[in-house]
Chain A
Amino acid sequence: MYDKDKYDKILSSYQKWEENKIVKLIEKFPERKKTFTTGSGVEVKRLYTPLDTKDMDYEEEIGYPGQYPFTRGVQPTMYRGRLWTMRQYAGFATAEESNKRYKYLLEQGQTGLSVAFDLPTQIGYDSDHPLSEGEVGKVGVAIDSLKDMEVLFDGIPLDKVSTSMTINAPASVLLAMYIAVAEKQGVSSDKLRGTIQNDILKEYIARGTYIFPPEESMRLITNIFEYCSQHVPQWNTISISGYHIREAGSTAAQEVAFTLADGIAYVEAAINAGLEVDEFAPRLSFFFNAHNDLLEEVAKYRAARRLWAKIMKERFNAKSEKSMQLKFHTQTAGSTLTAQQPDNNIVRVAIQTLAAVLGGTQSLHTNSRDEALALPTEDSVMIALRTQQIVAYESGVTETIDPLAGSYYIESLTDKIEKEAMEYIRNIDNLGGATKAIETGYIQKEIQNSAYKYQMQIESGERIVVGVNKFKVEEDQKRIILKVDPQVEIVQKKKLQKLRQERDNIRVKETIDILTQKARTDENLMPYILEAVKAYATLGEICGALREVFGEYEQSVIL
């Protein structure tokens, strides 16, 4: 970026500064630590100067918002045009209770819904399955059939809200239920807006709610891509998630690397299934974590955007700009929340919110202070939502686009993360792609190593967590927390029993038989799943039929 003369001049003045100001000073007053690092353990220099960005090509690598390589943002006007979608992930107990919480959130100014399902739903078991014991309604809402889904969205016009559903292995079933509810409301599927997570690879890597083996899962995913491109064109068909990879303990660069490697695998699967890249790629979306190291996180989002744009353009020959845009949802980091002095979490979340916004997120969930203890109370959720609103309306960071661009530190860190991520992606390519790298345990192992290192740094005191290993206080532990009534499981089971008695069981069997049959062919399964859903076949019955044909994934654990 600089000519040689100018560069040399800066270099010599920099060296002079170090000699004159620093060397003697730190002899007398040593710095606090020998080395300084980011939250991910990347070494940080004392000072960043134009010397660190000397090779930066502004037009090529940074450019303009809404323009390749999208380093500065995917929309041309970013938050000057429209703020990000404030979307609090919520759901617990029964569909009735969750429906109430959604209505409350919409009244409070939230602009999109985000549905949390309980674990049996996420793993394709009905509430009365033996493995569901103790889990019904705990981490999200229990959905057994279309009946529950009708209650969940009762009184919420599905043509007006956009809905994000954290559902992966059985994503096609829940999407089918959503389409069926909309139909009953008189809303056609082309009007529906929202996202299903539908990202099975990170389930194998980090989150654990898988059902079927990779090949069969990939087929369900590409079935959804294809079906939605024709029938639900405004739907984001996948949310390729680094969030859980980071929660499992990865570094920022690993989060970018493994997420984009998964993304590459999905694109390849879709292309292999005969889809045109520009047909489905614009509906791919991403989901990242926001940790406490504000500047590293901002650099991370920028690096991810740039790298994905390059991958889509150069590796997959995408022609449409929309295919190259990495749009992402962000959630603040659950793993950074502490059970100790939980009100401190409000501050952590505020910093993380700022990171996501300065990084140009399209939507955001902010965690509540009490989530290291239990599900959040309504009061805590309110503070979390208000945090977003304060950043949006009071902080001023939304008034100009990508305000940290050009910072010597931010730009060099953006480069560094991009390079490290590219290196990982190369390794994964050499192993035969993300699916193979997961099967051999390579990705999991890398993450576990980072997680263990991080934990040891906390225990040695090398890394400070306020309230945990420093500034501790004796706490009176009595706090109001939200608890799911154990009755929920009983109520849900009764509802399910009633449904099984009242529905047309012959029709259910018919639709399940057809689905089983079609699962053995190459046909797109979405229409058949939709038929079964409409006949009030349960989630467990539908997934059970597919389990029968596809088998189940066996975890590959390497410790």
Chain B
Amino acid sequence: MERPIRVLVAKPGLDGHDRGAKVIARALRDAGMEVIYTGLRQTPEQIVEAAIQEDVDVVAMSILSGAHNTLFPKVVNLLRERGVTDRLIVGGGVIPEDDIPFLIQTGVEAIFTPGTSTKDVVEFIKTHVKRQ
């Protein structure tokens, strides 16, 4: 039996708009994944700790408040500091086009902006997940 992909869906920062995160969580579940949802107001430290304890394959974060340039890289770096480099990290939310290259460069592997189909997110995760 194929094992399910495990995904942490996280809301870093203070923004409370979780419609997108919840829709994605459901869509990933419906695509056969195990989704661990963190709830609102998570610090990068909490997200990293959850990613480790839950041994997820994917960390998917959503921010709509504009704090992405601070918080996304922090999660990536904290994971690296712990020696965790085999996870796929993706982000989504209201993220201006010209911030994307910076985020990709820091190690977030995809940024999904408003209007992205959940199917594309599922597909991306399935094809880019790093661990077998």
A and B touch in the complex (CB under 8 A): yes
Residues of A within 8 A of B (CB): 119-120, 122-123, 125, 130-135, 138-139, 203, 206-210, 247-249, 335, 337-340, 371-375, 448, 451-452, 455, 458-459, 465, 468-469, 477-479, 481, 483-484, 486, 555, 557, 559
List B residues at the A interface (Cβ < 8 Å). 13-19, 22-23, 25-27, 37, 39-41, 43, 65-71, 94, 96-98, 113-115, 117-119
Q: Quick check: B96 and A481 within 8 Å, CB to CB?
A: yes
Q: Specify the main secondary structure of chain B where it touches its partner.
A: loop
**Is there contact, CB below 8 Å, between A203 and B97?**
no
Contact A477 B97 (CB under 8 A): yes
Check A130/B70 contact, CB under 8 A, given A207-B17, A483-B96.
no
In the assembled complex, the Cα of A126 lies from the Cα of B66 at a distance in Å of 18
A208 touches B67 (CB 8 A): no
In the complex, how many angstroms separate the beta carbon of A370 from the nearest chain B beta carbon? 9
| Cβ–Cβ contact B25 & A203, under 8 A | no
Q: Which of the residues B19, B22, B37, B66 comes within 8 Å of A374, measured between beta carbons? A: B66
Q: Are A484 and B66 neighbours in the complex by a CB distance under 8 Å?
A: yes
Whether B17 pairs with A134 at a CB distance below 8 angstroms is no
A339 lies within 8 A of B14 (CB): no
Interface pairs A-B: 8 shortest CB-CB: A208-B16, A134-B70, A134-B67, A119-B14, A138-B66, A477-B97, A468-B115, A339-B114
Q: How many residue pairs bridge A and B at CB < 8 Å?
A: 114
A448 near B22 with CB under 8 A, answer yes
16 contacts between A and B (CB under 8 A): A119-B65, A122-B14, A123-B14, A131-B41, A132-B14, A133-B71, A135-B13, A208-B18, A210-B16, A338-B114, A339-B115, A373-B94, A448-B23, A468-B115, A481-B96, A559-B37
The answer to whether A372 touches B66, judged by C-beta atoms less than 8 angstroms apart, is no
Given contact pairs A451-B22, A451-B23, A478-B98, enumerate 8 new A-B contacts (beta carbons under 8 Å): A119-B65, A131-B14, A134-B71, A208-B16, A339-B113, A459-B118, A481-B96, A557-B39
Rounded to whole angstroms, the CA-CA distance of A375 and B27 in the bound complex is: 28
Chain B residues lying within 8 Å of A339, measured Cβ to Cβ, are 113-115
- Chain A residues in 8 Å Cβ range of B115: 338-340, 372, 465, 468
Q: Which residues of chain B come closer than 8 Å to A459, judged between CB atoms?
A: 117-119
Say yes or no: B39 contacts A555, CB within 8 Å.
yes
Contacts of B98 in A (CB 8 A): 477-478, 481
* CB neighbours of A486 from chain B (8 A): 69-70
Nearest CB in chain A to that of B120: its residue = A459
B80 to chain A: closest CB distance in Å?
A: 19
Q: Are B65 and A451 in contact (CB under 8 A)?
A: no
Given A119-B13, A459-B118 in contact, is the A139-B19 Cβ separation under 8 Å? no
In the complex, A125 Cα to B26 Cα: how many Å? 32
- List chain B residues, Cβ under 8 A from A451: 19, 22-23
Closest beta carbon of chain A to B99's beta carbon, Å: 9
| Given A120-B14, A123-B14, A339-B115, A135-B65 contact (CB < 8 Å) | yes
Report the nearest B residue to A482, measured CB to CB. Answer: B96
- Alpha-carbon distance between A244 and B53 when the two chains are bound, in angstroms: 34
A248–B19 contact, CB under 8 A?
yes
Task: Say yes or no: A208-B22 contact (C-beta < 8 A), given A135-B67, A557-B37.
Answer: no
Give B64 Cβ to nearest chain A Cβ, in Å: 8
Shortest Cβ distance from residue A221 to the other chain B in the assembled complex, whole angstroms:
18
Q: Give Cα A63 to B49, complex, Å.
A: 61
A455 lies within 8 A of B23 (CB): yes
Closest CB of chain A to B59's CB: distance in Å?
17
Q: Are A135 and B19 in contact (CB under 8 A)?
A: no
Complex interface: chain A residues within 8 A of B15 (CB): 119, 135, 139, 208
Complex formed: what's the CA distance from A555 to B118 in Å?
A: 25
Chain A residues near B70 (CB, 8 Å)? 133-134, 486
Q: How far is the CB of B107 from chain A (nearest CB, A)?
A: 17
Q: Which residue of B lies closest to A455 (CB)?
A: B23
B95 to chain A, nearest CB (A): 8
